Structure 1
Amino acid sequence: MEADDWLRTTPLAVFFFLGRTVKGLVKNFANMAASAAGLLILIKQHVLIAAAGVVIGLVALVVVALLRYWFFQYRVEENGVLVRQGVLKKTQLDMRFDRIQGISTEQSLLYRVLGLVTVRFTTAGAAGDEGHLPAVTPEFVARLRQRLDAQPAPQVASSADGTETLLKLDGGEVTRIGLTDPRVLQFALLGAALTPAFGAEFENAYKRAADLASESLAVLANLGPLLGVLTVVALFLGIVLVFLLGSVVVAFLRYHDYELRQEGSAFRASAGLLTRKDVTVDVSKIQQLTVRQGLVMRWMQRHRVQALPASGGPAEGEVPDDVQKLVVPIAGAQTVEDLRARVFGSEGRRVTVLPRDSRFAPVSPYAIWPPVLWVGVAPAVVAAAVVTTMFGSAGLACLGWIVVVAAIACQRWRRRGYLHDDDALVFRSGFLGYRVEAALFRKVQQVSVSQSPLQRRKNLATVHVHLATGSVTLPYIECATAKRLRDYILYMAASSRLAWH
């Protein structure tokens, strides 16, 4: 890795830039709905013109990918990596090794056959992956990691030596990931929302399905009420199983052969069936631990853990999953607590990130009032007044919305809680499931205390804790407690001799 000349990656990086261009178009598909509708009309009326437009569009994508590859150059220096990129808008990234939060690699099926990988960097304060080097060799990545490991690291109380395997997921655990993925319902709703966009073709298919359904109903009527109900239930369960099967397949594509290791002072996770991804994050770079437990995961006694290095979120043109973070897709309680102990080291020993621990202190019940008043009572009264003038006393049914909002607000209040010791703060929230966020005081960037009119009246306050990964809000605690917590966090952040990043 000489530092004299600017280098280009292998020509196969064109596929990487082509993929990023297509991903950007797909991401902005919702913003091009009008264009898509016009394209559908054009396809129906002028097939040849539409075909020519498609060919021109594909050629344009390839040309853009070639230009992005040609103007992409990099150089590895003693203290960091420099990247030049851009066709019309030129940019240069200077990523110093001491600011890099982690290195991840991604290996598609094509790159795996050719022995190439794509390297992604995340630096402190960057939005998503700040830099990337596509289509480089694994040997280059190994030398790059050696350069990064050679940098002076912040002193931490616990740092393991050697390599230790912390977690390996078998087929059963990967299947559980698919069964607990909340996106199954999202895909089902998306499919239901998109079906009307097919126009006349959908109407014809609907008519054929309706005729088939009528014939099926006649058959069910002949079977008798009980057998008819059982058949409908079996059909519904079959549809659900299809979506679950698709979710399990996606889980195997993403998390097949998942392995989490600790290599010295860094965590390293690798997984993937077709596209193999490898994420490395130094323990000292982790800013926040997030533990999620959905309704199904709670029943299975499993958790999902994310260890976030300093990053401002997805960059422009990236989706949230592109942001580099260490993800443990499923883990038991013992593994979760072991990860917390390894991340926090000698700090935060008296806290826990398990959401159902009894040590969490509740927030004030007055937290229920604002959503009930502004989301429940106010809209319900207005709706009842309007509907009553039009349909009479039937409009009073709108007042039932207050009961629904009150039930939701009470459930969210029950889920909220906080816990802290001399070094760390843990906040719990959720609705049906749980979300737990934990961070060390010395990692905090800013902390403030605010009071609404209701909070001033009841001597309560809200604490806003800002980290390099985002913010955590601790609402409706005693005002004196909030101010003491704010002052103590500021003292710990200012007096710590350890680096926050």
Structure 2
Amino acid sequence: MTGPDEVTGDNRDAAEAGSTAPFEYLHPLSIVLKSLSTIGRNIVLIGILYFSLFDRNIGYTALATLVILAIIVGMTALVWSRFTWQISNKEVRIKSGLLNRNNRSIPFDRIQDVSLEQKLVSRLLGLTTVRFETGSGGGEDGELNALKLADGEAIRDIIRDYNSGQVRETTAETAPVPDLERPPLFAMDNRRILIAGLFNFSFILLAILGTIAQNLDFLIPEGFFDPRNWIETLTEQEAINGLSMAARVGGVVAAIFSLIAVGFVSGIVRTYVREYGFRLDLADTGTRGFRRRRGLFTLTDMVMPIHRVQAAIIRTGPIREKFGWYHLKFQSLAGDPSGETDHSAAPCARPEEMASILEETPIVDLPPDLEFQKVNPAFWWRNALLASALILAVAIGNGLFVHPGFYAILLLAFPVITLTFLNWRKHQYALTEEQLFVRSGWWRRRLTILPVRRVQTVDISQSPLDHPLDLADVTIGVAGGSSIAPLKVQAIPVTMAQALRARLI
């Protein structure tokens, strides 16, 4: 929809860009969507005004609410009127800004990914958000929010076809079959999502309730978050004092199981909201890649170019692996709408389903007869000693100066030592002519399959504790990888570390 104030100037800019298409506005309903989003973020402010400044006066609160609504809608409409966009022959142009005008040009050949995102209200209205990502390190480099779904899909197809050197045919006889009308490469029904949720134990529900309670602390009694008040209150209750020791222990056990149940429910709900309708297709039009759609409240539709895949990551756990379930991810140069570079390709899949996906990439699946090498046992006993010393210091400090019951913290040393030992047994690596395989973690098991040609850097490092044992860690740098948790082979002899680096570089 073209604005009357943009006719002469913007059309002149369009001609300079090599296109006769005029600059257009976003869909007018974007004013409503952005206003609702801003109002939702100010509900807490209205509550604070009601309980504090206006002393629970409904009239003043209603008047203040109307003023806030008018300001929000007015500013949103003003911002909308100053935001225009254009798709020329070779670039996307976006003009925005109230006082400081910004004219941004994004060439097609710099755009690495175009993703579509639909929140629940946008989906009901048939709108979508188009995001452009150029891999500059700052997330998406442009956003059109909101457009008609058909317009968003057309923009994505235009850019993908341009980057692949194709020209889209407009006749019905030569048009490609839409991805969603073909059998999917991988998909998850509600039963599969439920299984994935059972393995994604989470306390996110408790975290959300805690955040709400912290923001509404003026409604909560004083000392609510102080455990000493709860202990004193409970010990003074006659109903509790009259219970037998068995009943008290049973109550504690019931509380623990309730907490576990909350964790399972939270994991299921979180997984269902994120993975609902999960579908992975092979996008043959434009740049060849994987097209992924998922989401209950926010539907994301993105295409990950296969040539930008750097590594494959297979996640599982001791229970999940026993039942034959795995989570396949691809580490890519392109970030998804949430900013992550590890793209879920199959959140809950069987080995044969992962193999069919990997066949579409240059990455070769794990050979059944591949021999892995273990790392030095110092990986576990050295970390176990350090962790035990820390636990001992905490237990003694709290036991002497706070309460003798804190000496029970020493019991934590046993599971920590056990987990460290199990992590050592699972930390292995193998190298073929084409790929590096690295296993890590016992509870959160991870297998990284990295083509050698994707290796960017190899660093050998030694800590003060490594020198006496002549050990070293090898850190492998991969484009698009995490700088916080990079791929590592830990606690191997220095000579083996040097040999590994020589083969990788």
- Is TM > 0.5 for Structure 1 vs Structure 2? yes
1:188 maps onto 2:186 in alignment: no
Task: Give the alignment partner of residue 52 of structure 2, picking from 42, 47, 62.
Answer: 42
TM-score calculated relative to the size of structure 2 = 0.72
Taking only the aligned residue pairs, the percentage that are identical comes to 22
**Further displaced range: 299-308 or 189-198:** 189-198
1:363 maps onto 2:375 in alignment: yes
Aligned partner of 2:25 in structure 1 is 8
Aligned partner of 1:446 in structure 2 is 457
Task: Give the alignment partner of residue 111 of structure 1, picking from 114, 118, 122.
Answer: 122
Aligned partner of 2:426 in structure 1 is 415
**Per-residue deviation, 1:194:** 5.8
1:307 maps onto 2:334 in alignment: no
TM-aligned CA distance change 1:326 to 1:389, over 3 Å: closer
TM-aligned CA distance change 1:251 to 1:464, over 3 Å: closer
Equivalent-residue separation in structure 2 for 1:220 and 1:475 (angstroms): 53
Equivalent-residue separation in structure 1 for 2:118 and 2:402 (angstroms): 63
Partner secondary structure for residue 152 of structure 2 = helix
**Per-residue deviation, 1:187:** 2.0
**Per-residue deviation, 1:86:** 4.0
Partner secondary structure for residue 374 of structure 2 = coil
Aligned partner of 1:285 in structure 2 is 308
Partner secondary structure for residue 24 of structure 2 = coil
TM-aligned CA distance change 1:73 to 1:463, over 3 Å: farther
RMSD of equivalent CA atoms: 4.7
- One-letter code aligned to 1:178: G
TM-aligned CA distance change 1:15 to 1:182, over 3 Å: farther
**Per-residue deviation, 1:42:** 1.8
Partner secondary structure for residue 137 of structure 2 = coil
1:459 maps onto 2:470 in alignment: yes
Aligned partner of 1:481 in structure 2 is 496
- One-letter code aligned to 2:480: T
Equivalent-residue separation in structure 2 for 1:419 and 1:477 (angstroms): 13
**Per-residue deviation, 1:405:** 4.1
Equivalent-residue separation in structure 1 for 2:298 and 2:404 (angstroms): 61
1:174 maps onto 2:193 in alignment: yes
Aligned partner of 2:275 in structure 1 is 255
**Cα distance per residue 1:420-446 (max 9 Å; x no partner):** 322332332224221233332333333
Aligned partner of 1:62 in structure 2 is 73
Q: Is the 8 Å Cα contact of residues 126 and 149 (structure 2) preserved in structure 1?
A: yes
Equivalent-residue separation in structure 2 for 1:149 and 1:341 (angstroms): 23
Bigger RCO (CA 8 Å, 6+ sep):
1
Equivalent-residue separation in structure 1 for 2:111 and 2:279 (angstroms): 23
Aligned partner of 1:496 in structure 2 is none
Equivalent-residue separation in structure 2 for 1:389 and 1:108 (angstroms): 54
Alignment of 1:156-167 (within 5 A): 165-167=184-186
- One-letter code aligned to 1:139: A
- Number of residue pairs the alignment of both structures matches: 458
Q: Is the 8 Å Cα contact of residues 46 and 61 (structure 2) preserved in structure 1?
A: no
**Cα distance per residue 1:367-400 (max 9 Å; x no partner):** 235534544425634763x568769999977766
Q: Is the 8 Å Cα contact of residues 46 and 65 (structure 2) preserved in structure 1?
A: no
- One-letter code aligned to 1:280: V
Q: Is the 8 Å Cα contact of residues 252 and 273 (structure 1) preserved in structure 2?
A: yes
Equivalent-residue separation in structure 1 for 2:252 and 2:404 (angstroms): 37
Equivalent-residue separation in structure 1 for 2:298 and 2:324 (angstroms): 29
- Unaligned residue ranges in structure 2 (runs of 5+): 1-13, 166-176
Equivalent-residue separation in structure 1 for 2:23 and 2:110 (angstroms): 22
**Per-residue deviation, 1:261:** 1.1
Q: Is the 8 Å Cα contact of residues 327 and 344 (structure 2) preserved in structure 1?
A: no
**Per-residue deviation, 1:413:** 2.3
1:123 maps onto 2:134 in alignment: yes
- One-letter code aligned to 1:256: Y
Q: Is the 8 Å Cα contact of residues 128 and 324 (structure 1) preserved in structure 2?
A: no
Partner secondary structure for residue 342 of structure 1 = coil
Q: Is the 8 Å Cα contact of residues 287 and 310 (structure 1) preserved in structure 2?
A: yes
Equivalent-residue separation in structure 2 for 1:79 and 1:109 (angstroms): 32
**Further displaced range: 54-63 or 228-237:** 228-237
Higher alpha-carbon Rg: 2
Equivalent-residue separation in structure 2 for 1:406 and 1:198 (angstroms): 41
**Per-residue deviation, 1:485:** 3.2
Partner secondary structure for residue 360 of structure 2 = helix
Equivalent-residue separation in structure 1 for 2:338 and 2:370 (angstroms): 36
**Per-residue deviation, 1:295:** 5.3
Q: Is the 8 Å Cα contact of residues 104 and 278 (structure 1) preserved in structure 2?
A: yes
TM-aligned CA distance change 1:14 to 1:395, over 3 Å: closer
**Cα distance per residue 1:164-221 (max 9 Å; x no partner):** 52112222112223322232x23235536765776585559x99xx99xx89979999
1 or 2, which has the higher helix percentage?
Answer: 1
TM-aligned CA distance change 1:79 to 1:422, over 3 Å: farther
Partner secondary structure for residue 95 of structure 1 = strand
- One-letter code aligned to 1:287: Q
**Cα distance per residue 1:41-63 (max 9 Å; x no partner):** 62684646665555544444434
- One-letter code aligned to 2:194: T
Task: Give the alignment partner of residue 328 of structure 1, picking from 346, 364, 382.
Answer: 346
Aligned partner of 2:441 in structure 1 is 430
- Unaligned residue ranges in structure 1 (runs of 5+): 30-34, 155-160, 491-501
Task: Give the alignment partner of residue 380 of structure 1, picking from 373, 376, 392.
Answer: 392
Aligned partner of 1:297 in structure 2 is 320
**Per-residue deviation, 1:267:** 0.8
Q: Is the 8 Å Cα contact of residues 346 and 354 (structure 2) preserved in structure 1?
A: no
Partner secondary structure for residue 128 of structure 1 = coil
Q: Is the 8 Å Cα contact of residues 49 and 61 (structure 2) preserved in structure 1?
A: yes
- One-letter code aligned to 2:301: D
- One-letter code aligned to 1:336: M
Equivalent-residue separation in structure 2 for 1:116 and 1:388 (angstroms): 60
Q: Is the 8 Å Cα contact of residues 117 and 301 (structure 2) preserved in structure 1?
A: yes
Alignment of 1:226-265 (within 5 A): 244-245=264-265, 247-264=267-284, 265=288
